[in-house]
Amino acid sequence: MKNIICILAITLMTNFSFGQNENEMTTFDSNFTHTVFFWLKNPDNAADRTAFETSLKKFLDNSGYAKTKFIGTPPKASRDVVDGSFTYSLIVTFESDEAQQAYQDEAPHKLFIEESSDLWSKVIVYDSKGI
């Protein structure tokens, strides 16, 4: 019993020190926001969309740094100022500049680019820091 309590305590300490729980992963962190727009080469191709979404979700599920993990598609816009030309958007937030840089360098991010870059024709990134 004593060993089980020690293991639980170590696990909890590790998660609180290094990991992020489900609530933290969906909490918007205004320190650093990374917004990415993707234009797929074949946006009407169901297989391409499925491949892209699968790779993107796998990447985000395995990222050790991303807090907010929002994947979107453009709504039908009723205003001229809304650009709905993209196929997918991604909004990811980080607690710091260093966490965002670590995210850029982590293996899941590099694998996503390797798996999916042939699917898109254009990517635009907007990074911003909270004021």
CATH number for position 109: 3.30.70.100
Count up the domains in the chain and report the number. Answer: 1
Is the pLDDT score of 15 beyond 70?
A: no
Q: What is the pLDDT of residue 14?
A: 32
Identity of residue 42? N
In a domain, 26, yes or no: yes
Q: What is the pTM of this model?
A: 0.76
- Of 30, 15, 113, 29, the C-alpha closest to 64 is 15
Is the pLDDT score of 86 beyond 70?
A: yes
Give 97's Cβ-side CA count (13 Å radius). 3
Q: And the tokens for 93?
A: 């937030």
In a domain, 47, yes or no: yes
In a domain, 1, yes or no: no
Residue with token string 């609180």? 16
Q: And the tokens for 118?
A: 């042939």
Q: What is the pLDDT of residue 30?
A: 75
User: Residue 97 is part of which domain span?
Assistant: 20-129
Distance CA 77, CA 23 (A): 31
Q: What is the pLDDT of residue 77?
A: 77
Q: What is the pLDDT of residue 20?
A: 39
In a domain, 15, yes or no: no
pLDDT tens-place string over residues 21-70: 444 445 677 789 999 999 999 999 999 999 999 999 999 999 999 888 99
pLDDT band at 130 (very low <50, low <70, confident <90, very high): confident
Q: What is the pLDDT of residue 100?
A: 93
Q: What is the pLDDT of residue 80?
A: 84
In a domain, 76, yes or no: yes
In a domain, 11, yes or no: no
Q: What is the pLDDT of residue 26?
A: 54
In a domain, 8, yes or no: no
pLDDT tens-place string over residues 90-118: 999 999 999 999 999 999 999 999 999 99
Give 79: exposed, middle or buried? Use CB within 10 Å, 0-12, 13-18, 19+: exposed
